[in-house]
A = this chain, B = another copy of it.
Amino acid sequence: MRSARSINSDRPVVTDKREAILRAAIRVFAHNGYFNSKVADIASEAGVADGTVYLYFKSKEEILHSIFDRSMEEAIAAGRKQLDQITDPREKLRRIALLHLERLGADRNLAVVFQVELRGSTKFMEEFSAAGFAEYLSLIRSTFEEGQHAGVFRPELNAKVVAKILFGALDEMATNWILSKRRYKLAPMADQVLDIFLNGVNAR
């Protein structure tokens, strides 16, 4: 067995083993929690030796970072692309909410890492907050502000607060979905949230 290489690359192509380790880590973190997960567990879940993990990642912590960075990047890129097609701010927010819950609903393990493991320390929270969450929140906020200018949302509302409310509501849907024993589809909750939310912020 050998790892794939791209032509003209002087380093191992990052896709093969690296990807396997990342996927394994998501599963292991989701099951045991970040702090209770051993690097050895991740390695064996990925079908590689302990040491191999360190050929692709500097530390256990970097694995968690990579999971977050990659997923967030994907999500935001996918989001922006879809939003370009839409002009109505209400419809944009609906799409954001739907994408949010669809993405988490599609991979329970990833959702656990996002909803639970990434929240487990202020250190992570602050780092991640700086990176992705803040950008995401501000995407919601600016969309809302568009709507205010367009006259479809109540102009006296504080857009920052509104963004947090919507985000918080969606976030709670996701967390509850993870913790619930009962299995149901997450994505459809988006409409219920939006129904109430839009009713609350619509200009009358």
List residues of chain B with CB within 8 A of the CB of A116: 119-122, 125
Size of the A side of the interface (Cβ < 8 Å), in residues, is: 43
Contact among B161, B165, B179 for A126, CB-based, below 8 A: B179
Given A129-B179, A169-B168, A199-B200, do A112 and B122 touch, yes or no (CB 8 Å)? Answer: yes
Interface 9-mer from A6-14, A20-28, A81-89, A188-196: A188-196
List residues of chain B with CB within 8 A of the CB of A117: 120-121
Contact among B35, B161, B164, B167 for A121, CB-based, below 8 A: B35
Residues of A whose CB lies within 8 Å of any CB of B are: 30, 33-36, 112, 116-117, 119-123, 125-126, 129, 157-158, 161-162, 164-165, 167-173, 175-176, 178-179, 189, 192-193, 195-201
List residues of chain B with CB within 8 A of the CB of A158: 192
List residues of chain B with CB within 8 A of the CB of A162: 196
Q: Say whether B120 contacts A121, CB under 8 Å.
A: yes
Contact among B120, B122, B164 for A172, CB-based, below 8 A: B164
Q: How far is the CB of A50 from chain B (nearest CB, A)?
A: 21
Given A116-B122, A122-B116, A173-B168, do A157 and B196 touch, yes or no (CB 8 Å)? Answer: yes
